[in-house]
Each structure stands twice: as structure tokens, then as C-alpha cells.
């Protein structure tokens, strides 16, 4: 869920790219667009470190490129104009597929082609002013899902300032489902300190939020596929003096044995910003209750939608930064579902005009990221925010444990990995 803000490269389409080879044509693309993951120790299951590596996987490369599943840029680029896309351009797809179809020739290693720029590499946390870590490792005790909150040893605001960039580093990605950093208001700190002290072991159990009914905000988050980044230039989330940061880590041990984790976060700070900002969470709050977001067992396609003017909730959802009559800019958007999700979409209705913010037609739980807009959208009072989520709860689409599919069952909103969610996440700022 945090935060990739990228720029789609220019395409130069042609019917044929002529003879191609690994060193002159394929390698520069693989190095730029694929080898951030397909390296030793990376998240991908094999590497493209050499010609032999790429040749051995040539058929897989062709299939994934033609399907558009790799590299994993899931947002439909016809929806909006995004900044920093790591997706392949049309000409890059043509080069790779032609290379495979021509027999994957090696070429001359002394005549390697020019490097290819990946706009996604421009998206990063430019500096880390504060690094905060869990004080000790924690091993999940509840199975399959353990929600644990940790009060970080740092009191926000020796002087007041702003968070202008964020990155979370899960200590053990094998068992970490998500990470959320909450900023808790000073008048709620004592409540959470008491809650922390009242439970055995490090941290305390928490669901939904940091365990407080009072005011709290998101500072940032991580889910599989996410990465850190600076917030949009001139914007930042205010640190109120005396507030505390609570790290909520959702552990899932359905596929892996409980292991220790020690997650950390990094933040970029500034004393002032031009446009104070907040992270707006968008959902239908009635979905929390019973089966109002029911996804029946065995159903191949189930869709739930939500549309409303957020004005009524705006103050509560942004720590009082915005009022019901305020306009604001939307800089980036992300969407969150679990493993049964197949499609999700977020858009704005303004009078008779609809503006697509984010459309993910092929949801993949393992690649969750934020999509930044080249031009922020101004949201005005009276506009509506729409969201749609579609799930596949058929027997064929169930999670597999040790090769065996879990039995399909009725699913509704819930915190567990085998439950489901439909959540929009937007970074908004004052005009």
C-alpha cells in the first residue's frame, strides 16, 4: 500500500524490430525492468543474472510479457496518467517476444546495448531522517492471523513538524501480511501505554486500528509489492507535539511456521510544508457489520460497490485537517483487497463527469502499491467518491495449503487473510 509513484515511458511502436539478440537488445530491458526482483535474494523465484539464466526461462518470459503480467504494474494506464511506471513499453514487449521467437540468440557481449531507464527507479525515499524499529523481535502467537501493535520508542514532536516521506521495512516478509504506522494524538497516548503494559509479552493485540477509540491517522503502510517514497513535493503529514507512533503488524502463518520479526520504518521530515496533507481511508463503514459485504461460498463473481460524498466523515478521517466544505487535492490512490479479489476500481463523480482514479482489472494480492497522478485531481464539495470490488469465491480460486485448496465458505469483511476487504487509500492535501 505504500507508495509507488511512477511515470509511463514513451512508446515507439513498429511492426518489426528486426533481428535481436540478448546482449544488444534483451539484456538492457531485463536489467532495467526485471532484475530488481529477478536477482539472487530477490522476491522472484529465479534470476536473469546471465544469458544462460534468461535463455533457460525464455518461454516463460514470452508468455508473461504477452499476458502483461510481468513486470507487475497492475493499474490500467487508460484510467489515468500515472507517474513512474515500471511497466514494459509496447516496443520493449516487441523486442523481448521477438528475441524468444528468433531463438533467443546471444549476440556479442562486447557490444551490449545502451542502458534502459526505468522511471520506477526515480520513485524512492530520498533520505531517512528518522529510523524507528521494534525494540525486540516478536514471534506470532495466534494462528493463522495475529494482529500486534507496538508503541515505538519515539515521541513525535520534540518540536512540531511534518512527515514528508515514508518507508516500511518488514523484518520477515514470509509472515508479514501488512504494516501500518499510526500517529496517535497526545490525549490517547496514556490509554495505549496502559494497554501495552497490561498484556504479557512485547506489544499488544489490536484489530482495525491501534487499539484506541480516539483520534489517530495513518502515516504510511506496507503490503506485499509496496515500497517507500517521498510524499508529493510541498506536502506532508503534521506531527503534533507529544503524539506517538504505533506500528500495527498483521502476521499470517497459514503457509509458514511462526518466526521472529523485527519490522522498522523510516521517515523523511520537514519543519514546514506548503500544503498539509492526510491519508484518507475510503470504505463503506456498514461493511463492518455482519454480512453486509457478503461473498457467498462457491460464487464465481461477486461485486460490492460504494458511492458517497466524504464530507460528513472528512474531519474524523483526517484528524480534523479538513472540514465538510473544503476542497482538496488527490495526489495518489491505492486499493486493498485480500486473496479472493479479482478486480477493483476507484473513481470520482463530479456532476455529469466521471474521472477514473485507479482501475486494477487483474488484482494480485502480492503486488499492492500506490499510483501517483502526474496532475493531482481537485475534489470539490458535492463530488462523490465511488469504489467497486469484485471477488471470485469459487472452489477453484481458494488459497492452497500444502497443495490442497481450502474449502470455499461464506466470506465477509474481516481482519484475517482469509476474510476480505474493499478499501481505498488516498493521499490528499490542502489546496
Phi, psi of 247 (to 5 degrees): -100, 115
Cell numbers describing residue 163:
512527515
CB atoms near residue 147 (< 10 Å): 21
Which of 43-57, 266-280, 335-349, 382-396 shows the lowest mean pLDDT across its residues?
43-57
For position 341, what pLDDT does the model report?
A: 97
* Cα 357 from Cα 83, distance rounded (Å): 13
Which of 27-36, 46-55, 74-83, 151-160 shows the lowest mean pLDDT across its residues?
151-160
Segment 115-160, tens digit of pLDDT: 999 888 888 899 999 999 999 999 999 888 899 999 998 876 655 7
For position 399, what pLDDT does the model report?
A: 87
For position 36, what pLDDT does the model report?
A: 77
Averaged pLDDT for residues 369-398: 95
Which of 142-151, 210-219, 381-390 shows the lowest mean pLDDT across its residues?
210-219
CB 283 within 8 A of CB 387: yes
Between 86 and 16, name the one with better pLDDT.
86
Please count the CA atoms within 13 angstroms of the CA of 258 that sit on its side-chain side: 11
For position 208, what pLDDT does the model report?
A: 78
For position 320, what pLDDT does the model report?
A: 87
Segment 313-358, tens digit of pLDDT: 888 888 889 999 999 999 999 999 999 999 999 999 999 999 999 9
For position 338, what pLDDT does the model report?
A: 94
* Cα 416 from Cα 258, distance rounded (Å): 16
For position 15, what pLDDT does the model report?
A: 54
Segment 240-294, tens digit of pLDDT: 888 899 999 999 888 888 999 999 999 999 999 999 999 999 999 999 988 999 9
Where in the chain do CATH 2.60.120.230 domains reside?
279-429
Where in the chain do CATH 2.60.120.310 domains reside?
130-273
What does the buried/exposed string (b/e) look like for 90-116 if buried means 16 or more CB atoms within 10 Å of the residue's CB?
Answer: ebbbbbbbbbbeeebbbbeeeebbeeb
For position 12, what pLDDT does the model report?
A: 40
**Straight-line distance from the first to the last Cα atom of the chain, in angstroms, rounded to the nearest whole number:** 24
For position 215, what pLDDT does the model report?
A: 65
Flag whether pLDDT at 402 surpasses 80: no
For position 365, what pLDDT does the model report?
A: 87
In percent, the amount of the chain with pLDDT more than 90 equals 67
CATH number for 130-273 (one of 2.60.120.310, 2.40.160.40, 3.40.50.300, 3.40.50.720): it is: 2.60.120.310
CATH code of the domain made up of 279-429: 2.60.120.230
Averaged pLDDT for residues 153-179: 86
Averaged pLDDT for residues 4-14: 37
For position 315, what pLDDT does the model report?
A: 87
Specify the pTM: 0.87
Averaged pLDDT for residues 180-202: 91
Amino acid at each position: 500500500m505504500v507508495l509507488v509513484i511512477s511515470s509511463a515511458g514513451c512508446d515507439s511502436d513498429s511492426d518489426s524490430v528486426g533481428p535481436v539478440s540478448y546482449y544488444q537488445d534483451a539484456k538492457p530491458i531485463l536489467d532495467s525492468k526485471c532484475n530488481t526482483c529477478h536477482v539472487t535474494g530477490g522476491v522472484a523465484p529465479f534470476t536473469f543474472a546471465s544469458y544462460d539464466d534468461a535463455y533457460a526461462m525464455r518461454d516463460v518470459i514470452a508468455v508473461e510479457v504477452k499476458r502483461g503480467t510481468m513486470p507487475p504494474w497492475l493499474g490500467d494506464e487508460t484510467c489515468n496518467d500515472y507517474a513512474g511506471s515500471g511497466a514494459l513499453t509496447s516496443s520493449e514487449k516487441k523486442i523481448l517476444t521477438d528475441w524468444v521467437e528468433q531463438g533467443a540468440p546471444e549476440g556479442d557481449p562486447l557490444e551490449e546495448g545502451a542502458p534502459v531507464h526505468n522511471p520506477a527507479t526515480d520513485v524512492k525515499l530520498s533520505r531517512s531522517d528518522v529510523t524507528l524499529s521494534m525494540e525486540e523481535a516478536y514471534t506470532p502467537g495466534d494462528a493463522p492471523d495475529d494482529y500486534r501493535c507496538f508503541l515505538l520508542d519515539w515521541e513525535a514532536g520534540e518540536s512540531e513538524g511534518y512527515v514528508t516521506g515514508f518507508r516500511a521495512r518488514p523484518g520477515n516478509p514470509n509472515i508479514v501480511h501488512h504494516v501500518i504506522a499510526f500517529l496517535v494524538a497526545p490525549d490517547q497516548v496514556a490509554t495505549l501505554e496502559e494497554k501495552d503494559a497490561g498484556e504479557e509479552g512485547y506489544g499488544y493485540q489490536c484489530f482495525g486500528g491501534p487499539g484506541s477509540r480516539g483520534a489517530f491517522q495513518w502515516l504510511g503502510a506496507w503490503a506485499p509489492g509496496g515500497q517507500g517514497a517521498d510524499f508529493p513535493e510541498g506536502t506532508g503529514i503534521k506531527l503534533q507535539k507529544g503524539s506517538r507512533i504505533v506500528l500495527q503488524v498483521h502476521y499470517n502463518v497459514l503457509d509458514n511456521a511462526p518466526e521472529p520479526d523485527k519490522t522498522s520504518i523510516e521517515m523523511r521530515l520537514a519543519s514546514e510544508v506548503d500544503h498539509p496533507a492526510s491519508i484518507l481511508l475510503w470504505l463503506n463503514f456498514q461493511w463492518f457489520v455482519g454480512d453486509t459485504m457478503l461473498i457467498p461460498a462457491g460464487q464465481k463473481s461477486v461485486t460490492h460497490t460504494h458511492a458517497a460524498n466524504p464530507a460528513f466523515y472528512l474531519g474524523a478521517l483526517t484528524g480534523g485537517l479538513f472540514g465538510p466544505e473544503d476542497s482538496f487535492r488527490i495526489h495518489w490512490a491505492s486499493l486493498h483487497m485480500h486473496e479472493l479479489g479479482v478486480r477493483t476500481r476507484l473513481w470520482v463523480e463530479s456532476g455529469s463527469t466521471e474521472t477514473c482514479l485507479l482501475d486494477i482489472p487483474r488484482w494480485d494480492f502480492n503486488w499492492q502499491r500506490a499510483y501517483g497522478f502526474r496532475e493531482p485531481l481537485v475534489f470539490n464539495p458535492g463530488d462523490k467518491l465511488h469504489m467497486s470490488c469484485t471477488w471470485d469465491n469459487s472452489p477453484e480460486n481458494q488459497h492452497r495449503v500444502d497443495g490442497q485448496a481450502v474449502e470455499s465458505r461464506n466470506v465477509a469483511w474481516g481482519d484475517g487473510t482469509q476474510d476480505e476487504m474493499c478499501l481505498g487509500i488516498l493521499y490528499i492535501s490542502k489546496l
